[in-house]
A = this chain, B = another copy of it.
Amino acid sequence: MLEITGRTRVLGILAHPTDHVKAPPGINRIARERGKDAVMVPFNVAPADLQAFVGTLRTLLSFDGAIVTVPHKQAILTLCDDLTPHARAVGAANILRREPDGRLIGGQLDGAGFIQGLRHAGIEPKGKGIYLAGAGGAASAIAFAAAEAEVAFLTLANRSQGKADELRRRLLQFNPRLAVGIGTRDPSGHDIVINGTTLGMTADDDLPVDAERLSPGMVVAEVVMVPEMTPLLEGACAKGCQIHLGHHMLDHQLRLMADFMGL
């Protein structure tokens, strides 16, 4: 870490609590690598205090931006002066930039981070059939990024089908030409199978898809980071699929987040 002086730019990670957040060391390493005099520190703010706190971030002249995470990703939307199309479409922001005039711009990079992670691993989603389990925050972000990545088709599968239908409706607003359907637990017929749910974090979780229907040649990708090898990925290995670990989404997103905050 470079020495912090009065000229150092301040970045935050807005969360509550902040004990568990993983991003500061990674962002601070990127700042060092890029020779930027900036440092990320935790901003632990309770939901009831978020509006006032974010309001004063406009006036903190040494502040350039913040990662936004649980439980503030939705609440931050109405507190920004502007949003990127992805943040607006997903309905959640996970990154904030302070413009020189104090305006706060909210962005959403979960999906872009996931797609970049795939590409870095040599997996190109363009022209592919994509199966996505889930319709919550992470899944929505991946769906909108997939909608931009010129996939051949996208299948949404969620235990609550109403949420999948609603996500499909919003995806078609975002990209009316997208081939997007609603699927079952059966992922057969797809090239890339993505778990966008939290299933797999806890030992006795159900599998997010029917792993018996996985087949060699498929890529099976996770958003769950802990455990690294989820039951789904173990099942995918047993079926001869290529697997893609959950941490890639965060790893690649950190650089996108650093870019967004001007690092």
A32-79: which have CB < 8 Å to B? 39-46, 49, 52-53, 55-56, 59-62
Q: Report the Cα distance A100→B42, complex, angstroms.
A: 16
Q: Report the Cα distance A3→B39, complex, angstroms.
A: 11
A interface residues, tally (CB under 8 Å): 37
Q: Report the Cα distance A39→B11, complex, angstroms.
A: 13
Stretch touching chain B among A22-30, A144-152, A254-262: A22-30
How many whole Å from A88's CB to the nearest CB in chain B? 26
A1-29: which have CB < 8 Å to B? 1, 3-8, 10, 13, 15-22, 24-25, 28
With A6-B15, A7-B19, A20-B6 as known contacts, state yes or no: A45 contacts B61, CB within 8 Å: yes
A148-177: which have CB < 8 Å to B? none
Secondary structure of the A contact surface, majority rule: loop
Which of chain B's residues have a CB closer than 8 A to the CB of A4?
1, 24-25, 28, 39-42
The 8 Å CB contact of A56, one of B5, B28, B49, is B49
Q: Is the CB of A7 within 8 A of B18?
A: yes
Q: Is the CB of A3 within 8 A of B1?
A: yes
With A1-B3, A19-B7, A25-B5 as known contacts, state yes or no: A49 contacts B53, CB within 8 Å: no
Which of chain B's residues have a CB closer than 8 A to the CB of A17?
6, 61
With A6-B22, A52-B55 as known contacts, state yes or no: A60 contacts B41, CB within 8 Å: no
**In the complex, which residue of chain B has the Cβ closest to the Cβ of A3?**
B25
The 8 Å CB contact of A6, one of B24, B53, B60, is B24
The 8 Å CB contact of A43, one of B18, B19, B25, B60, is B60
How many whole Å from A45's CB to the nearest CB in chain B? 6
How many whole Å from A28's CB to the nearest CB in chain B? 6
Q: Report the Cα distance A24→B4, complex, angstroms.
A: 6
Q: Report the Cα distance A165→B44, complex, angstroms.
A: 47
How many whole Å from A75's CB to the nearest CB in chain B? 14
Which of chain B's residues have a CB closer than 8 A to the CB of A49?
56, 59
A residues with CB within 8 A of B: 1, 3-8, 10, 13, 15-22, 24-25, 28, 39-46, 49, 52-53, 55-56, 59-62
Across chains A and B, which 5 residue pairs bring their CB atoms closest together, nearest first?
Answer: A49-B59, A6-B21, A44-B62, A44-B61, A6-B18
Assuming A3-B24, A44-B60, what are 9 further A-B pairs, CB within 8 angstroms? Answer: A1-B4, A4-B39, A5-B25, A6-B15, A6-B17, A7-B19, A8-B24, A44-B61, A49-B59
